[in-house]
Amino acid sequence: MVTVAQCLKTKPSIIVAVRPGDSVVLALQSMRDHRVRAVLVMEDDRLLGIITQGDCAIKVLLPGADAKTTLVRDVMTRDPMTVKLSDPLEACMGLMANRGFRHLPVLEAGRVMGVVSVGDVVKDSIRRMGEQIGFLETYIKGHGA
């Protein structure tokens, strides 16, 4: 069973975050620059929320608001659901599937440790399937003659 901690070890350790008083355009630029689809909203090392590309598109661009003047605090998801380092990655998959999340901030003792994305979960699933296929191929070859 792979844990959130093991998953985070395979990713860059940078925490991409903006402040609640930053403009939405700054959040979008951070997403572009770091090649992510969501950024954490933090102040004084404290997690306040998360803002995604979808939030920006649906809550700002579609209604015709100005991303340069709209503040992150006005469109972010406040107090997002989080996971711990010891949580199994499969539990994250269940949360994401059942609740419609694509990103889960990881907290340990109140400190942000990273973010687990649906892409991370899919990569792990593909890796595990490859291992299972390899095991089955070895089993079949060993018992086929």
Helix 89-99 to helix 118-143 angle, to the nearest 10 degrees?
120
Helix/strand/coil for 124: helix
DSSP 121: H
How buried is 49 (Cβ within 10 angstroms: 0-12 exposed, 13-18 middle, 19+ buried)? Answer: buried
- Cα separation, 4 vs 84, whole angstroms: 7
Tokens, residue 2: 């792979």
**What are the structural domains of the chain?**
4-143 (3.10.580.10)
Q: Which one-letter amino acid corresponds to residue 57?
A: A
Residue 144 has what pLDDT?
A: 57
Residue 124 has what pLDDT?
A: 77
Contacts of 5 (CB under 8 A, 6+ apart): 85, 86
Structure pTM? Answer: 0.85
CA neighbor of 23 nearest in space, from 5, 2, 45, 39? 39
- Cα separation, 34 vs 29, whole angstroms: 8
Q: Tens digit of pLDDT per residue, the chain (145 long)?
A: 889 999 999 888 899 999 999 999 999 999 999 999 999 999 999 999 999 999 999 999 999 999 999 999 999 999 999 999 999 998 999 999 999 999 999 999 999 999 999 989 888 777 777 777 877 888 888 765 5
Q: Which one-letter amino acid corresponds to residue 23?
A: S
Residue 67 has what pLDDT?
A: 96
